[in-house]
């Protein structure tokens, strides 16, 4: 009796192993197929294409033109995407671009935003972002009063 | 074309996310109107503003005028600067709108509906100057943090409403009252409902002035949404941040109000003058009250070319916070000599005053016209930047325009 019990257990185990291996083989085939053509498991008929948009290949969300990141207006440079991803969620990039600060004051500003404005911990990105900002938007000396610049000249007609 | 189709189909919410800003009059956006995200916003469509206004920031919205756009004696909406600390309210239910008066120093907490406010208290109209505390910030060196306002964050519209003191007295003001603090329905940039974008106020001396209003109307029409519809506090002559928008609660405090932007470097300047860039301790900072004397040449627009021997008529406005402007001068020789302008009396206290002058130039060449106002206490506008402060407030250096005589 003991011997036949053992035989049954071995048979059961063998069957279980077979099932496992077949499943594995099937899964690998599926993965291989999906990798070669991700659309293979979708029936084209189920997709209502009328709400989809065609986005041409050059219509890049993070397109850069003439050194400017079009979506935000930030200058192209090392740390651009870290800055875009962390500094334009609550306010526009314009608030950053308008300002000119040194490393110390950017640090202060970031810490103020973390303490009072719900900005998250930037981790390693903090140094990258500050470096991007001080490199691309450094303070400019203005003195006590600048000359009048960007004047658009026009003929003033008699009133 | 298919991208356009997508945008049209998208909900306004998605659109707002796309351009990172709120579509203010989304509900009434014309069918064929296609907001061009990521490009120049259509200021007229969004806020009824002149397209010549300068957008400093789209989130939060901060927009300023140029000097020549402010030529009207009474500032119309289209030329009025827009300053926001948070996100504009998305939905306003007039019937359900209430104003609550509470705080340590209120005798009895009271709540009023809009119609109660309008019927129970006498209404007054005043023309009141509102200038952003940070107007002129862009000129400070070292640069000051924040929106880089140049000269256009000032307005003087007619405001109609009830006197704040009448409403507060109706609820009852305890003897220990020192300050009020306002609360409003705009939301914080992080959309955290527990944070207020701004909650400032004023001491009781300002609160009890006749001209301090809870306003419903601007230039005799409902206040535009972006300017505080349906209820706005108006405290002329003080930093415009005291004039809270979308007000639904006013706390009568037994201490200086400690809401958002009342502390730290916000709307505060060093109590004693400091060197440019100097660190200032928190306890050495004082809250800005009355704005300083200032003026703008609103005609002609800078860059005018005129013929030799022609007279040039200039005009503009001058204001002096709580005070009046006593004298107005101009210079065409970089401040070496000054000549008098004609200056009108204000239509009421805290309204700006209009000046004009007729100029002649000694010879052909490049000139700058500088304008300088003097307040009723003899204080003049400086020709260069006034005292540096960490957030770049109170720049009242004289306005300059460029002129060529040919």
B27 pLDDT higher than 80: no
pLDDT at A157: 85
Both A68 and A125 in one domain: the answer is yes
Tokens 């001209």, residue located: B211
Of A48 and A70, the one with more pLDDT:
A70
Select the more confidently predicted residue: B45 or B106: B106
Residue of B nearest to A92 (CA): B59
Task: Please give the model's pTM, rounded to 2 decimal places.
Answer: 0.83
Residues A82 and A21 in one domain: no
Quote the Cα angle for A151-A157-A159, to 5°: 120
In chain B, residues 17-46 whose CB comes closer than 8 Å to chain A: 20-21, 38
**Is A146 inside any structural domain?**
no
- Is the CB of B140 inside 8 Å of chain A's CB atoms? yes
Mutate to test the interface with A, among B303, B314, B331 (most CBs of A within 10 A): B303
Residues B310 and B254 in one domain: no
Distances (CA, A) of B193 to A113, A140, B87, B186, B263: 17, 38, 12, 10, 20
Q: Which residues of B touch A142 (CB under 8 A)?
A: 139-141, 143
B302 touches chain A (CB under 8 A): yes
Are B131 and B155 members of one domain? Answer: yes
- Tell me: pLDDT of B38 over 60: no
Domain identity same for A130 and A68: yes
Comparing CA positions, the residue from A62, A52, A65, A61 lying closest to residue B3 is A52
CA angle B239–A115–B289, rounded 5-degree value = 15
pLDDT digits (tens, 9 = 90+) for A25-44: 888 776 776 666 655 555 44
Residues B205 and B228 in one domain: yes
Supply B132's token pair: 């952003």
pLDDT at residue B4, rounded to an integer: 39
Identify whether residues B307 and B390 lie together within a single domain. yes
Asked if residue A110 and residue A75 are part of one domain, the reply reads yes
Domain endpoint, select from B257, B287, B317: B287
pLDDT at A29: 74
Asked if residue A99 is part of any domain, the answer here is yes
Pick from B300, B310, B397: CB nearest A145: B397
Beta strands across the sheet bearing B179-184: B110-113, B98-102, B247-253, B179-184, B201-203
Within this chain, do residues B115 and B240 fall inside the same structural domain, yes or no?
yes
Please check whether residue B210 lies inside any domain of the structure: yes
A29 plus A77 within the same structural domain: no
Compute the average pLDDT of residues B42-69.
94
Q: Are residues A78 and A33 in the same domain?
A: no
Q: How confident is the model at residue A5 (pLDDT cuts 50, 70, 90)?
A: confident
Q: What is the CATH number of the domain that holds B331?
A: 2.60.40.650
Q: What is the number of residues in chain B?
A: 406
Give residue A19's pLDDT: 81
According to the model, what pLDDT value does residue A38 have? 55
Instruction: Indicate whether B179 pLDDT > 70.
Output: yes
Structural domains of chain B, count: 3
Pairing of strands B294-299, B312-319: antiparallel
Distance from CA of A124 to the nearest CA of B (A): 22
* pLDDT one-digit tens code per residue, B83-133: 999 999 988 999 999 999 999 999 999 999 999 999 999 999 999 999 999
User: Does any domain span residue B52?
Assistant: no
Per-residue pLDDT of A105-143, as tens digits, reads 999 999 999 999 999 999 999 999 999 999 999 998 999
Structure tokens at B145: 């943090």
Asked if B136 and B206 sit in the same domain, the reply is: yes
Q: What is the DSSP letter of B398?
A: P
Q: Give dist(CA B207, CA B243) in Å, integer.
A: 11
- Residue A22 has a pLDDT of 84
Residues B154 and B252 reside in one and the same domain: yes
Q: Are residues B239 and B299 in the same domain?
A: no
Say what the pLDDT of residue B289 is. Answer: 98
Q: Do B321 and B376 belong to one domain?
A: yes
Is B266 part of any domain? yes
Alpha-carbon gap: A62 to the closest alpha carbon of chain B (Å):
12
Q: Is residue B84 in some structural domain?
A: no
**pLDDT per position as a tens digit, B181-205:** 999 999 999 999 999 999 999 999 9
Domain assignment present for B77: no
Mark whether B6 and B135 lie in a shared domain.
no
Q: Which positions ≥6 away from B127 have C-beta within 8 Å?
A: B74, B156, B157, B158, B159, B346, B347, B348, B351, B352
Number of folded domains that form chain A = 2
- The string of pLDDT tens digits covering residues B227-265 is 999 999 999 999 999 999 999 999 999 999 999 999 999
> Is A80 in the same domain as A129?
yes
pLDDT at A107: 95
Q: Is the dihedral of CA B380, B381, B387, B393 positive or negative?
A: positive
Q: Please indicate, yes or no, if residue A55 is contained in any of the structural domains.
A: no
| Same domain, yes or no: B29 and B119 | no
Are A94 and B64 in contact by the 8 Å Cβ rule? The answer is: no
Report pLDDT for B301.
98
Position B26 pLDDT exceeds 50: no
Q: What mean pLDDT comes out for the span A78-101?
A: 95
Q: Do the domain assignments include residue B50?
A: no
Residue B104 lies in a domain: yes
Domain-located, residue A86? yes
The confidence score (pLDDT) of residue A9 equals 81
Same domain (yes/no): A32, A85: no
pLDDT digits (tens, 9 = 90+) for B70-81: 999 999 999 999
CATH of the domain at B176: 3.90.420.10
| Residue-number span of the structural domain to which A103 is assigned | 64-136
CA-wise closest residue to B314 among B119, B68, B53, B103: B68
Same domain, A77 and A35: no
Q: Which residues of A touch B146 (CB under 8 A)?
A: 99
| In a domain? residue B70 | no
Interface of A with B in 102-141 (CB under 8 A): 105, 109, 117-118, 139-141
Asked if residue A126 and residue A68 are part of one domain, the reply reads yes
pLDDT higher than 60, residue A58: no
In angstroms, the Cα distances linking B274 to A99, B293, B294 are: 22, 21, 22
Query: What is the pLDDT, as a whole number, of residue B29?
Result: 42
Alpha carbon dihedral A83, A86, A89, A91, in 10-degree steps, equals -50
Residue B37: pLDDT over 80: no
CA distances from B233 to B71, B228, B244 (A): 25, 9, 5
- Domain with B112, as residue range(s), is 94-287
Nearest to B36 by CA among B2, B7, B1: B7
Map tokens 């009108």 to a residue. Answer: B344
| Domain co-membership, B259 together with B342 | no
């Amino acid at each position: 009796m003991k011997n036949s019990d053992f035989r049954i257990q071995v048979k059961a185990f063998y069957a279980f192993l077979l099932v496992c291996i077949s499943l594995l083989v099937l899964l690998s085939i599926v993965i291989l197929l999906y990798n070669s053509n991700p659309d293979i498991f979708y029936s084209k008929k189920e997709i209502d294409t009328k709400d989809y948009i065609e986005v041409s290949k050059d219509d890049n969300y993070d397109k850069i033109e003439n050194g400017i990141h079009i979506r935000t207006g930030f200058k192209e440079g090392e740390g651009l995407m870290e800055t875009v991803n962390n500094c334009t969620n609550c306010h526009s990039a314009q608030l950053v671009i308008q300002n000119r600060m040194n490393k110390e004051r950017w640090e202060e500003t970031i810490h103020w935003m973390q303490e009072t404005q719900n900005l998250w911990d930037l981790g390693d990105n903090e140094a990258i972002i500050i470096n991007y900002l001080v490199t691309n938007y450094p303070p400019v000396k203005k003195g006590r009063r600048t000359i009048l610049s960007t004047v658009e000249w026009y003929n003033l007609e008699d009133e | 074309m298919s991208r356009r189709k997508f945008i049209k189909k998208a909900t306004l919410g998605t659109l707002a996310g796309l351009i990172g800003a709120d579509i203010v009059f989304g509900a009434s956006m014309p069918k064929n109107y296609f907001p061009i995200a990521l490009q120049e916003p259509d200021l007229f469509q969004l806020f009824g503003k002149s397209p010549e206004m300068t957008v400093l920031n789209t989130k939060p919205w901060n927009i300023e005028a140029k000097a020549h756009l402010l030529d009207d004696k009474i500032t119309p909406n289209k030329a009025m600067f827009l300053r926001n600390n948070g996100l504009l309210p998305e939905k306003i239910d007039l019937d359900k709108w209430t104003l609550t008066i509470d705080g340590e120093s209120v005798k009895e907490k009271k709540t009023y509906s809009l119609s109660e406010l309008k019927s129970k208290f006498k209404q007054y109209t005043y023309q009141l100057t509102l200038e952003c505390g940070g107007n002129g910030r862009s000129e400070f060196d070292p640069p000051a943090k924040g929106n880089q306002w140049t000269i256009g964050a000032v307005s003087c519209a007619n405001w109609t409403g009830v006197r704040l003191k009448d409403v507060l007295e109706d609820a009852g003001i305890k003897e220990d009252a020192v300050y009020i603090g306002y609360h409003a329905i705009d939301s914080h940039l992080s959309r955290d409902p527990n944070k207020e974008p701004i909650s400032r106020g004023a001491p009781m001396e300002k609160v009890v002035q006749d001209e301090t209003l809870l306003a419903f109307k601007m230039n005799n029409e409902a206040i535009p949404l972006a300017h505080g519809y349906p209820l706005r506090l108006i405290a002329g002559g003080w930093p415009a941040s005291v004039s809270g928008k979308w007000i639904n609660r006013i706390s009568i405090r037994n201490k200086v109000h400690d809401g958002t932007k009342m502390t730290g470097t916000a709307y505060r300047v060093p109590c004693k003058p400091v060197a440019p860039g100097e660190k200032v301790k928190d306890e050495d900072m004082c809250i800005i009250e009355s704005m300083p004397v200032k003026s703008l040449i609103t005609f002609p627009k800078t860059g005018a070319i005129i013929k030799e021997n022609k007279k040039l008529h200039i005009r503009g406005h001058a204001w002096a916070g709580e005070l009046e402007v006593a004298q107005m001068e101009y210079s065409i020789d970089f401040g070496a000599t000054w000549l008098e302008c004609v200056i009108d009396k204000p239509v009421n206290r805290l309204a700006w005053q209009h000046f004009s002058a007729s100029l002649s130039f000694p010879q052909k060449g490049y000139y700058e016209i500088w304008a300088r106002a003097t307040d009723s206490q003899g204080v003049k506008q400086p020709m260069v930047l006034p005292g540096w402060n960490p957030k770049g407030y109170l720049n009242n250096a004289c306005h300059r325009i460029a002129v060529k005589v040919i």
